[in-house]
Amino acid sequence: MSGTIVKVSGPLIVAEGMSDVQLYDVVQVSDKHLIGEVIELRDDKASIQVYEETAGLGPGEIVETTGAALSVELAPGLIESILMEFRGR
């Protein structure tokens, strides 16, 4: 599923034609394949938080959904240190 950028405002873009995406889906923006996340849906328009530099983006560029939610892989040592901090040692 793909849509088209209609507005760019800093790290926030609005794309139309995105009726099949879901909240928090990860998208790739433009031919630069910038990573973004859908943060609001209204009809077929999606507000997208782009996590990379948006300079040079403009209306008419393509936005494609990956169908996946944003995720990050954590190393076991990192998870352990977070849990120890959470438990207050």
What the block records as the tokens of 82 is 């977070």
Return the higher-pLDDT residue of 17 and 77. Answer: 17
CB neighbour list of residue 43: distance below 8 Å, 6 or more residues apart: 19
Rounded average pLDDT over 8-15: 97
Question: Cα(43)–Cα(50) distance, rounded to whole angstroms?
Answer: 20
Instruction: For residue 2, list its beta bridge partners.
Output: 64
Can you give the pTM of this predicted structure?
Answer: 0.79
Mean of pLDDT over the chain: 90
Whether 44 contacts 10, CB under 8 Å: no
How far apart are the C-alpha atoms of 83 and 47, rounded to whole Å? 33
* In the predicted structure, residue 15 carries a pLDDT above the cut 70: yes
Residue range 35-78, pLDDT digits in tens: 999 999 999 999 999 999 999 999 999 999 998 888 877 777 77
Cα 52–Cα 12–Cα 29 angle in degrees, nearest 5: 55
* Structure-block tokens of residue 35: 């990573």
The rounded distance, in Å, linking the Cα atoms of 78 and 61 is 38
pLDDT score for 79: 72
Judged against a pLDDT cut of 60, whether residue 89 lies above it is answered with no
